[in-house]
Protein backbone atom coordinates (compact mmCIF):
# COMPACT_ATOMS: atom_id res chain seq x y z
CA UNK A 1 0.00 0.00 0.00
CA UNK A 2 1.24 3.47 -0.87
CA UNK A 3 2.86 5.30 2.04
CA UNK A 4 2.65 8.98 2.84
CA UNK A 5 4.76 11.20 5.05
CA UNK A 6 3.23 12.60 8.22
CA UNK A 7 4.09 16.27 8.27
CA UNK A 8 7.80 16.86 7.93
CA UNK A 9 8.63 13.87 10.10
CA UNK A 10 10.35 10.63 9.16
CA UNK A 11 7.11 8.72 9.77
CA UNK A 12 5.78 7.17 6.56
CA UNK A 13 2.40 5.52 6.96
CA UNK A 14 0.15 3.49 4.70
CA UNK A 15 -2.45 5.87 3.31
CA UNK A 16 -5.04 3.80 5.16
CA UNK A 17 -4.32 2.98 8.77
CA UNK A 18 -6.44 0.92 11.12
CA UNK A 19 -8.41 2.72 13.78
CA UNK A 20 -8.29 0.12 16.54
CA UNK A 21 -11.15 1.34 18.73
CA UNK A 22 -13.62 -1.05 17.05
CA UNK A 23 -11.59 -4.23 17.59
CA UNK A 24 -13.74 -5.35 20.51
CA UNK A 25 -12.89 -7.20 23.70
CA UNK A 26 -12.19 -10.67 22.29
CA UNK A 27 -8.45 -11.04 21.79
CA UNK A 28 -8.43 -13.67 19.04
CA UNK A 29 -10.89 -11.63 16.97
CA UNK A 30 -8.86 -8.45 17.44
CA UNK A 31 -5.69 -10.34 16.51
CA UNK A 32 -7.26 -11.69 13.32
CA UNK A 33 -8.12 -8.17 12.14
CA UNK A 34 -4.65 -6.80 12.94
CA UNK A 35 -2.97 -9.75 11.23
CA UNK A 36 -5.10 -9.28 8.12
CA UNK A 37 -4.41 -5.54 8.10
CA UNK A 38 -0.67 -6.20 8.04
CA UNK A 39 -1.17 -8.74 5.22
CA UNK A 40 -3.02 -6.05 3.26
CA UNK A 41 -0.04 -3.69 3.54
CA UNK A 42 -1.25 -1.53 6.41
CA UNK A 43 1.62 -0.41 8.63
CA UNK A 44 -0.19 2.23 10.70
CA UNK A 45 -2.23 1.33 13.80
CA UNK A 46 -3.98 3.90 15.97
CA UNK A 47 -5.12 3.13 19.50
CA UNK A 48 -5.51 5.04 22.79
CA UNK A 49 -5.04 4.31 26.46
CA UNK A 50 -8.74 5.05 27.00
CA UNK A 51 -10.02 2.44 24.53
CA UNK A 52 -11.49 -0.30 26.71
CA UNK A 53 -9.37 1.12 29.52
CA UNK A 54 -6.05 -0.18 28.25
CA UNK A 55 -7.25 -3.50 26.86
CA UNK A 56 -7.07 -2.23 23.29
CA UNK A 57 -3.43 -1.28 23.69
CA UNK A 58 -2.71 -4.71 25.14
CA UNK A 59 -4.28 -6.45 22.14
CA UNK A 60 -2.32 -4.27 19.72
CA UNK A 61 0.88 -4.87 21.66
CA UNK A 62 0.52 -8.65 21.59
CA UNK A 63 -0.34 -8.66 17.89
CA UNK A 64 2.68 -6.63 16.78
CA UNK A 65 5.40 -8.59 18.57
CA UNK A 66 8.22 -9.78 16.28
CA UNK A 67 7.29 -7.21 13.62
CA UNK A 68 7.34 -4.00 15.66
CA UNK A 69 10.13 -2.44 13.59
CA UNK A 70 7.98 -2.56 10.44
CA UNK A 71 5.00 -0.75 11.93
CA UNK A 72 3.95 2.74 12.96
CA UNK A 73 2.11 2.65 16.29
CA UNK A 74 0.12 5.64 17.44
CA UNK A 75 -1.64 6.02 20.76
CA UNK A 76 -3.12 8.82 22.83
CA UNK A 77 -3.14 10.25 26.34
CA UNK A 78 -4.81 12.96 28.37
CA UNK A 79 -7.72 11.11 29.93
CA UNK A 80 -7.01 9.96 33.48
CA UNK A 81 -8.72 6.78 34.57
CA UNK A 82 -8.21 4.14 37.20
CA UNK A 83 -8.58 0.42 36.73
CA UNK A 84 -11.78 -0.85 38.29
CA UNK A 85 -13.40 2.59 38.43
CA UNK A 86 -15.98 3.96 36.03
CA UNK A 87 -15.40 7.13 34.04
CA UNK A 88 -12.37 9.32 33.52
CA UNK A 89 -11.24 12.92 33.91
CA UNK A 90 -9.36 15.23 31.58
CA UNK A 91 -5.74 15.73 32.64
CA UNK A 92 -3.19 17.15 30.19
CA UNK A 93 -0.63 17.85 32.92
CA UNK A 94 3.03 17.00 32.49
CA UNK A 95 2.98 14.59 35.42
CA UNK A 96 0.03 12.65 34.04
CA UNK A 97 1.42 12.43 30.49
CA UNK A 98 4.78 11.22 31.81
CA UNK A 99 3.01 8.45 33.75
CA UNK A 100 0.54 7.64 30.97
CA UNK A 101 3.28 7.07 28.40
CA UNK A 102 5.00 4.52 30.62
CA UNK A 103 1.73 2.67 31.15
CA UNK A 104 1.07 2.66 27.41
CA UNK A 105 4.56 1.42 26.64
CA UNK A 106 4.06 -1.46 29.05
CA UNK A 107 0.69 -2.43 27.59
CA UNK A 108 2.02 -2.16 24.03
CA UNK A 109 5.09 -4.18 24.89
CA UNK A 110 7.44 -1.72 23.24
CA UNK A 111 10.09 0.76 24.32
CA UNK A 112 8.96 3.61 22.06
CA UNK A 113 5.80 5.02 20.50
CA UNK A 114 5.99 6.34 16.96
CA UNK A 115 3.23 8.94 17.27
CA UNK A 116 1.94 10.04 20.67
CA UNK A 117 -1.17 12.20 20.59
CA UNK A 118 -3.01 14.43 23.02
CA UNK A 119 -6.50 12.92 23.18
CA UNK A 120 -8.49 16.15 23.13
CA UNK A 121 -7.59 19.52 24.61
CA UNK A 122 -9.20 22.82 25.58
CA UNK A 123 -8.08 26.43 25.34
CA UNK A 124 -8.11 26.55 29.16
CA UNK A 125 -5.37 23.91 29.44
CA UNK A 126 -1.84 24.89 30.37
CA UNK A 127 -0.79 24.26 26.77
CA UNK A 128 2.84 25.24 27.37
CA UNK A 129 3.12 22.60 30.08
CA UNK A 130 1.56 19.96 27.84
CA UNK A 131 3.94 20.80 24.99
CA UNK A 132 6.89 20.61 27.38
CA UNK A 133 5.76 17.13 28.43
CA UNK A 134 5.72 15.87 24.85
CA UNK A 135 9.03 17.53 24.02
CA UNK A 136 10.65 15.86 27.03
CA UNK A 137 9.34 12.45 25.98
CA UNK A 138 10.77 13.04 22.53
CA UNK A 139 14.19 13.93 23.98
CA UNK A 140 14.10 10.81 26.13
CA UNK A 141 13.41 8.68 23.05
CA UNK A 142 10.14 7.35 24.44
CA UNK A 143 8.25 8.82 21.49
CA UNK A 144 9.38 9.63 17.97
CA UNK A 145 6.84 12.38 17.22
CA UNK A 146 3.71 13.86 18.72
CA UNK A 147 0.41 15.28 17.57
CA UNK A 148 -3.06 16.18 18.79
CA UNK A 149 -6.54 14.77 18.25
CA UNK A 150 -8.83 17.78 18.16
CA UNK A 151 -11.61 19.51 16.24
CA UNK A 152 -11.34 22.76 18.21
CA UNK A 153 -9.87 25.53 16.00
CA UNK A 154 -8.65 27.60 18.95
CA UNK A 155 -6.71 24.61 20.32
CA UNK A 156 -5.38 23.67 16.88
CA UNK A 157 -4.10 27.20 16.27
CA UNK A 158 -2.25 27.24 19.60
CA UNK A 159 -0.46 23.97 18.89
CA UNK A 160 0.41 25.00 15.34
CA UNK A 161 1.98 28.20 16.64
CA UNK A 162 3.69 26.90 19.77
CA UNK A 163 4.63 23.25 19.26
CA UNK A 164 6.36 20.89 16.86
CA UNK A 165 3.34 18.64 16.31
CA UNK A 166 3.43 16.66 13.07
CA UNK A 167 -0.24 15.65 12.92
CA UNK A 168 -3.78 16.60 13.81
CA UNK A 169 -6.39 13.87 13.96
CA UNK A 170 -9.77 15.24 12.91
CA UNK A 171 -13.17 13.76 12.15
CA UNK A 172 -13.35 14.29 8.39
CA UNK A 173 -15.61 12.92 5.68
CA UNK A 174 -17.78 13.98 2.80
CA UNK A 175 -20.59 14.64 5.31
CA UNK A 176 -18.32 16.43 7.80
CA UNK A 177 -16.18 18.80 5.75
CA UNK A 178 -15.66 21.31 8.57
CA UNK A 179 -11.89 20.64 8.75
CA UNK A 180 -11.37 21.88 5.19
CA UNK A 181 -11.55 25.50 6.34
CA UNK A 182 -8.36 24.90 8.32
CA UNK A 183 -6.40 22.79 5.83
CA UNK A 184 -4.44 25.74 4.34
CA UNK A 185 -3.22 26.84 7.79
CA UNK A 186 -2.35 23.26 8.77
CA UNK A 187 -0.41 22.72 5.55
CA UNK A 188 1.36 26.06 5.96
CA UNK A 189 2.84 24.75 9.21
CA UNK A 190 3.99 21.50 7.62
CA UNK A 191 1.52 19.41 9.63
CA UNK A 192 -0.64 16.55 8.34
CA UNK A 193 -4.27 15.65 8.97
CA UNK A 194 -5.20 12.13 10.02
CA UNK A 195 -8.82 11.59 8.96
CA UNK A 196 -10.90 9.60 11.43
CA UNK A 197 -14.49 8.67 10.68
CA UNK A 198 -14.06 8.91 6.89
CA UNK A 199 -17.07 6.62 6.34
CA UNK A 200 -19.26 8.57 8.79
CA UNK A 201 -20.50 5.65 10.89
CA UNK A 202 -21.12 3.62 7.74
CA UNK A 203 -23.29 6.23 6.02
CA UNK A 204 -20.73 6.45 3.21
CA UNK A 205 -19.97 2.72 3.08
CA UNK A 206 -21.46 0.25 0.62
CA UNK A 207 -24.01 -1.08 3.08
CA UNK A 208 -27.61 -0.03 2.51
CA UNK A 209 -28.64 3.16 4.28
CA UNK A 210 -31.80 1.51 5.59
CA UNK A 211 -29.53 -0.53 7.87
CA UNK A 212 -28.73 2.63 9.82
CA UNK A 213 -29.71 2.83 13.48
CA UNK A 214 -33.13 4.09 14.49
CA UNK A 215 -31.44 7.04 16.19
CA UNK A 216 -29.79 8.07 12.91
CA UNK A 217 -33.07 7.69 11.05
CA UNK A 218 -34.67 10.02 13.56
CA UNK A 219 -31.90 12.58 14.02
CA UNK A 220 -29.73 12.22 10.94
CA UNK A 221 -25.99 12.84 11.06
CA UNK A 222 -24.17 16.13 11.61
CA UNK A 223 -26.12 18.82 9.70
CA UNK A 224 -27.89 16.25 7.49
CA UNK A 225 -31.36 14.85 8.04
CA UNK A 226 -31.83 11.18 7.19
CA UNK A 227 -33.66 12.19 4.00
CA UNK A 228 -30.76 14.45 3.02
CA UNK A 229 -28.31 11.60 3.55
CA UNK A 230 -30.31 9.40 1.20
CA UNK A 231 -30.38 12.19 -1.37
CA UNK A 232 -26.63 12.74 -1.01
CA UNK A 233 -25.90 9.06 -1.64
CA UNK A 234 -27.99 9.18 -4.80
CA UNK A 235 -26.15 12.28 -5.99
CA UNK A 236 -22.82 10.72 -5.06
CA UNK A 237 -23.43 7.89 -7.49
CA UNK A 238 -24.01 10.40 -10.28
CA UNK A 239 -20.96 12.51 -9.38
CA UNK A 240 -18.54 9.57 -9.12
CA UNK A 241 -20.07 6.75 -11.18
CA UNK A 242 -16.75 4.88 -11.47
CA UNK A 243 -16.60 4.37 -7.72
CA UNK A 244 -18.51 2.55 -5.02
CA UNK A 245 -19.68 4.57 -2.03
CA UNK A 246 -16.73 3.38 0.06
CA UNK A 247 -14.25 4.16 -2.70
CA UNK A 248 -15.64 7.64 -3.29
CA UNK A 249 -15.68 8.43 0.44
CA UNK A 250 -12.11 7.33 1.14
CA UNK A 251 -10.71 8.71 -2.11
CA UNK A 252 -12.37 12.06 -1.39
CA UNK A 253 -10.47 12.38 1.89
CA UNK A 254 -7.21 11.18 0.33
CA UNK A 255 -7.53 13.69 -2.51
CA UNK A 256 -6.57 16.50 -0.16
CA UNK A 257 -2.80 17.09 0.11
CA UNK A 258 -3.33 17.95 3.78
CA UNK A 259 -4.39 14.36 4.56
CA UNK A 260 -1.65 11.84 5.25
CA UNK A 261 -3.97 8.92 5.98
CA UNK A 262 -7.53 7.81 6.59
CA UNK A 263 -8.12 5.54 9.57
CA UNK A 264 -11.48 3.83 9.33
CA UNK A 265 -12.22 1.32 12.03
CA UNK A 266 -13.19 -2.27 11.33
CA UNK A 267 -15.00 -4.70 13.59
CA UNK A 268 -15.14 -7.39 10.89
CA UNK A 269 -12.61 -8.79 8.42
CA UNK A 270 -15.01 -8.08 5.57
CA UNK A 271 -15.08 -4.36 6.47
CA UNK A 272 -11.30 -4.22 6.61
CA UNK A 273 -10.90 -5.89 3.21
CA UNK A 274 -13.52 -3.67 1.62
CA UNK A 275 -11.87 -0.53 2.97
CA UNK A 276 -8.41 -1.63 1.86
CA UNK A 277 -9.70 -2.39 -1.64
CA UNK A 278 -11.29 1.06 -1.76
CA UNK A 279 -8.02 2.88 -1.16
CA UNK A 280 -6.50 0.94 -4.07
CA UNK A 281 -9.24 2.23 -6.39
CA UNK A 282 -8.58 4.90 -8.99
CA UNK A 283 -8.17 8.32 -7.38
CA UNK A 284 -10.91 10.85 -7.99
CA UNK A 285 -10.34 13.26 -10.84
CA UNK A 286 -10.37 16.97 -9.99
CA UNK A 287 -13.74 17.16 -11.69
CA UNK A 288 -15.17 14.33 -9.60
CA UNK A 289 -13.83 15.79 -6.35
CA UNK A 290 -15.30 19.15 -7.34
CA UNK A 291 -18.70 17.60 -7.99
CA UNK A 292 -18.62 15.89 -4.61
CA UNK A 293 -17.89 19.22 -2.93
CA UNK A 294 -20.74 20.77 -4.89
CA UNK A 295 -23.35 18.23 -3.77
CA UNK A 296 -22.25 18.24 -0.10
CA UNK A 297 -22.22 20.89 2.62
CA UNK A 298 -18.93 22.64 3.40
CA UNK A 299 -19.81 23.52 6.98
CA UNK A 300 -17.57 25.10 9.59
CA UNK A 301 -16.92 24.78 13.30
CA UNK A 302 -19.28 27.14 15.11
CA UNK A 303 -17.67 26.81 18.55
CA UNK A 304 -14.14 27.09 19.96
CA UNK A 305 -13.02 29.51 17.27
CA UNK A 306 -11.47 32.16 19.50
- Residues serving a catalytic function are 51
- Find all residues with CB under 8 Å of 91, minimum gap 6, and list them: 78, 79, 80
Among residues 197, 301, 175, the alpha carbon closest in space to that of 259 is found at: 197
Q: In degrees rounded to 5, what are phi and psi of residue 31?
A: -65, -40
The whole-angstrom separation of Cα 76 and Cα 107 is 13
The whole-angstrom separation of Cα 280 and Cα 250 is 10
- Find all residues with CB under 8 Å of 284, minimum gap 6, and list them: 240, 243, 248, 251, 252, 255, 292
At 5, is the secondary structure helix, strand, or coil? strand
Question: What number of other Cβ atoms are within 10 A of residue 23's Cβ?
Answer: 27
Which burial class, exposed, middle or buried, applies to 97 when counting CB atoms under 10 A from its CB (0-12, 13-18, 19+)?
A: buried
Q: Are 36 and 272 in contact (CB under 8 A)?
A: yes
Query: What is the side-by-side order of every strand in the sheet holding 113-119?
Result: 18-19, 44-46, 72-77, 113-119, 143-149, 167-171, 192-196, 259-263
- Find all residues with CB under 8 Å of 180, minimum gap 6, and list them: 172, 256, 298
The whole-angstrom separation of Cα 306 and Cα 303 is 8
Question: What number of other Cβ atoms are within 10 A of residue 30's Cβ?
Answer: 23
Amino acid sequence: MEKRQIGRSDLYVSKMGLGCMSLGKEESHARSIIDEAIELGINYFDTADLYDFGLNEEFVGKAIQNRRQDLIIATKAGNRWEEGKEGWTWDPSQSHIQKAVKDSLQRLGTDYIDLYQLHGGTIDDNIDETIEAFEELKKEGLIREYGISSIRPNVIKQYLEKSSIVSIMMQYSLVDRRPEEWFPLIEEHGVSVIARGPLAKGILSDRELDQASSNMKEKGYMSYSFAELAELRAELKKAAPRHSYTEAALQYCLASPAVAAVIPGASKLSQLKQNAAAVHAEPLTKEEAGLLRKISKAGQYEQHRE
